[in-house]
């Protein structure tokens, strides 16, 4: 009888310890499983961050009606009044996309102009612009990458006219700067036409201001204009 009591005194506490240990391991295992279950959707959601949104509206350059121009005020020798030097290219590609909230999708929005084809009313000026100012042999294009629009609601109007601003990264001769464009647009059941313009100085993009004998003076600012005709992407 005494022996049974002694065994009970030893065995019962041991069983309690073993049971508690097993319960602890089960709880830890359950907690780990719960943690993994909880983290699963979170990790999946995190993996989706940064993916481009599906465009609700995507407009692309139409086959005609697109032209990029520079406009610079100059005073020529032997001419009484100053005039605007204007060079233009119709070789423009690209487009702009908006998500369902009306925000620009930067990864799907860019316009490219072939400035190696810029043409003004003077061949001499065109050669100078290509060789000395833009170095089109190395930098044949200028790109405009829209990042945001201001002053226009979404969905875009089906018809009528609207004036608003577009913020875009402009790249000229390998230098990229943020720019703000004033846009006058006309909407015609999906087709959007109009003009966008911005102004910057030669120094902002590291460009050489013209200094040639036939010029008395050249304004320090360049006005860049884009006459656009955009249609929905098919």
Q: What is the pTM of this model?
A: 0.75
The Cα-based distances of 135 to 82, 116, 150, 174, 207 in angstroms read 26, 9, 33, 10, 10
Look at residue 210 in the predicted model and tell me its pLDDT: 78
Please check whether residue 108 is in contact with residue 52, taking contact to mean a CB–CB distance below 8 angstroms. Answer: yes
Work out the pLDDT band at 209, boundaries 50, 70, 90.
Answer: confident
Predicted confidence (pLDDT) per residue in 46-82, tens digit: 333 344 557 899 999 999 999 999 999 877 665 655 7
Look at residue 219 in the predicted model and tell me its pLDDT: 80
Check whether 11 has a pLDDT greater than 90. no
* pLDDT more than 70, % of the chain: 72
Compute φ and ψ for 80, nearest 5 degrees: -65, -40
Check whether 133 has a pLDDT greater than 90. yes
- Which of 31, 93, 101, 19 lies closest to 61 in space, CA to CA? 93
Work out the pLDDT band at 212, boundaries 50, 70, 90.
Answer: low
Q: What are the residues facing 131 on neighbouring strands?
A: none
């Amino acid at each position: 009888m005494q022996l049974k009591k002694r065994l009970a005194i030893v065995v019962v506490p041991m069983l309690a310890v073993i049971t508690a240990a097993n319960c602890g391991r089960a709880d830890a295992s359950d907690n780990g499983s719960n943690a993994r279950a909880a983290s699963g959707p979170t990790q999946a959601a995190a993996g989706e961050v940064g993916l481009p949104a599906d465009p609700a509206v995507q407009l692309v350059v139409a086959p005609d009606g697109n032209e990029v121009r520079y406009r610079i005020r100059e005073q020529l020798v032997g001419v009484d009044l100053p005039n605007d030097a204007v060079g233009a290219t119709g070789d423009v590609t690209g487009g702009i996309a908006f998500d369902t909230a009306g925000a620009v999708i930067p990864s799907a929005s860019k316009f490219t102009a072939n400035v190696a084809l810029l043409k003004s009313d003077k061949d001499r000026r065109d050669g100078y612009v290509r060789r000395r100012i833009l170095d089109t042999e190395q930098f044949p294009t200028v790109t405009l990458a829209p990042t945001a629009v201001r002053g226009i609601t979404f969905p875009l109007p089906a018809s009528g006219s609207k004036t608003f601003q577009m913020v875009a990264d402009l790249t000229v001769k390998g230098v990229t700067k943020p720019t703000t464009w004033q846009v006058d647009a006309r909407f015609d059941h999906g087709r959007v036409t109009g003009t966008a313009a911005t102004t910057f100085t030669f120094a902002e993009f590291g460009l050489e201001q013209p200094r040639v004998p036939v010029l008395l003076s050249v304004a320090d600012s360049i006005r860049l204009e884009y006459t656009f005709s955009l249609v929905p992407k098919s």
